[in-house]
């Protein structure tokens, strides 16, 4: 065992080595984003900006999912909010490499490119694990962290994403011309209307014909489902994030069961948990509960 005073230094050195070895293995992509400025910045554009918030969506999502909440958080926190499209989603480039180390590298490159400091990372589901990886690998870039309904563990996806992909592939093969046709095809694969509407936000008109296509590369994402269930770090004695962290979990969701709390505490020793009355889709199901938890947590840090 190393003396206690040396452990933080050793953790930082190991994290730096991990980051160098990982970030050079796969090319980063330049992420699309929307920026929501607080009123204070609009009224006085030359004034120094408050610490930014980066908002990361989940699998099959995009920056558009978080548009309304980004505006609300920019207003309530008086901070700029960057809503990102992660690789293979929204308007960001596609890549066959889709795992959390690649996703984290993209976000780190975004922070560097935009010269952001003391950032808060908020991520839902896939975005939560991405945000956790960034914080663990690059703690100096992240002032505080809010993972939403996901834990730093290797666990099978607890919803039906593989079934959704099968339905989406059937839509693609059918070359539908209307969104309503796609909805009918998806019904056996996603019985809840809200889920189908969420998936259908990825449907767009093809440039080379009257049919509709998916904005996301289904072949890449289908191949990445196991990686999305995984978490790339196993040993919290080697890498940890020792800054304020708030885990938000839906009371009707099973993504952060109580048995994961000990390992969460080892990776993120300054963590808190807030339960929100919702399923896995916490932000859309209970936006006010989500907003209140985030604002209360971050106002304490200002």
Q: What is the separation, in whole angstroms, between the first and last Cα of the chain?
A: 36
Q: Pick the catalytic residue: 23, 70, 125, 138?
A: 125
Domain stops at, among 189, 204, 223? 223
The yes-or-no answer on residue 41 being catalytic is no
Do 44 and 185 have their domain in common? no
Burial 267-288 (b: 16+ CB within 10 A, else e): bbeebeebebebbbbbbbbbee
Mean pLDDT (the chain) is 90
Judged by phi (left if over 0) then psi (alpha if -120 to 50, else beta), residue 239 lies in: beta
Do 128 and 244 have their domain in common? yes
Model confidence at 1, in pLDDT bands (50, 70, 90)? Answer: very low
Do 126 and 204 have their domain in common? no
Nearest to 239 by CA among 122, 119, 123, 101: 101
Predicted model pTM: 0.89
Cα separation, 79 vs 82, in Å, equals 10
Query: Between these two residues, 6 and 134, which has the higher pLDDT value?
Result: 134
Fill in the DSSP letter of residue 44: -
3-state secondary structure (DSSP) of residue 269: coil
Contact residues for 296 (Cβ-Cβ < 8 A; gap 6+)? none
For the chain, the domain total comes to 2
Cα separation, 12 vs 18, in Å, equals 10
Q: What is the pLDDT of residues 61-120, one digit of tens each?
A: 999 999 999 999 999 999 999 999 999 999 999 999 999 999 999 999 999 999 999 999
Do 139 and 180 have their domain in common? no
For the cut 70, the answer to whether the pLDDT of residue 208 exceeds it is yes
Do 71 and 184 have their domain in common? no
Do 210 and 243 have their domain in common? no
Do 179 and 84 have their domain in common? no
Q: Which CATH number do you get for residue 116?
A: 3.40.50.1820
Question: Would you state the pLDDT for residue 20?
Answer: 43
Do 111 and 52 have their domain in common? yes
Do 9 and 143 have their domain in common? yes
Query: Between these two residues, 283 and 21, which has the higher pLDDT value?
Result: 283
The yes-or-no answer on residue 125 being catalytic is yes
Do 182 and 90 have their domain in common? no
Do 237 and 209 have their domain in common? no
Where in 125-230 does DSSP place strands (E)?
Answer: 142-148, 203-205, 212-214
For the cut 70, the answer to whether the pLDDT of residue 18 exceeds it is no
Model confidence at 161, in pLDDT bands (50, 70, 90)? Answer: confident
Contact residues for 86 (Cβ-Cβ < 8 A; gap 6+)? 31, 56, 57, 92, 103, 106, 107, 126, 127, 130
Answer whether 270's CB lies under 8 Å from 242's CB. yes
Question: Would you state the pLDDT for residue 160?
Answer: 80
Count of CB atoms situated within 10 Å of the CB of 128 = 26
What are the angstrom distances between the C-alpha of 28 and each of 52, 98, 139?
Answer: 21, 11, 19
What percentage of residues in the chain have a pLDDT greater than 90? 82
Q: What is the pLDDT of residues 185-196, one digit of tens each?
A: 999 999 999 999
Mean pLDDT value across residues 30-40: 94
Q: What is the pLDDT of residues 38-51, one digit of tens each?
A: 988 777 776 667 89
Give the structural domain span for 174: 161-223
Domain stops at, among 174, 197, 223? 223
Question: Would you state the pLDDT for residue 6?
Answer: 46
Do 197 and 76 have their domain in common? no
Query: What are the tokens at 145?
Result: 């962290």
Domain stops at, among 190, 223, 256? 223
Considering only 15-19, 97-101, 223-227, which range has the smallest mean pLDDT? 15-19
For the cut 50, the answer to whether the pLDDT of residue 15 exceeds it is no
């Amino acid at each position: 065992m190393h003396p206690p005073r040396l452990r933080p230094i050793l953790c930082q050195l190991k994290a730096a080595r991990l980051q160098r070895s990982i970030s050079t293995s796969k090319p980063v992509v330049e992420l699309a984003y929307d920026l929501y400025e607080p009123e204070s910045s609009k009224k006085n554009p030359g004034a120094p900006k408050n610490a930014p918030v980066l908002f990361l969506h989940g699998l099959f999502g995009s920056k558009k999912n978080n548009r309304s909440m980004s505006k609300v958080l920019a207003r309530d926190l008086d901070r700029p909010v960057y809503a990102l499209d992660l690789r293979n989603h929204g308007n960001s480039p596609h890549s066959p490499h889709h795992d959390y180390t690649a996703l984290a590298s993209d976000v780190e490159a975004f922070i560097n490119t935009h010269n952001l400091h003391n950032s808060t990372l908020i991520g839902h589901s896939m975005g939560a694990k991405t945000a956790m990886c960034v914080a663990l690998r690059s703690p100096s870039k992240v002032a505080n962290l809010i993972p939403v309904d996901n834990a730093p563990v290797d666990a099978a996806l607890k919803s039906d994403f593989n079934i959704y992909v099968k339905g989406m592939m059937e839509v693609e093969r059918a070359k539908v011309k209307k969104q309503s046709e796609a909805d009918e095809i998806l019904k056996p694969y996603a019985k809840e209307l809200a889920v189908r509407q969420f998936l259908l936000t990825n449907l767009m008109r093809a440039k080379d014909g009257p049919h509709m296509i998916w904005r996301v590369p289904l072949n890449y994402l289908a191949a990445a489902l196991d990686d999305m269930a995984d978490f790339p770090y196993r040993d919290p004695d080697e890498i940890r994030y020792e800054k304020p962290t708030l885990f938000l979990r839906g009371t009707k969701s099973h993504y952060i069961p109580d048995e994961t709390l000990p390992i969460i505490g080892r990776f993120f020793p300054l963590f808190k948990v807030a339960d929100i009355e919702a399923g896995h889709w916490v932000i859309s199901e209970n936006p006010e509960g989500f907003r209140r938890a985030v604002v209360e947590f971050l106002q304490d840090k200002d």
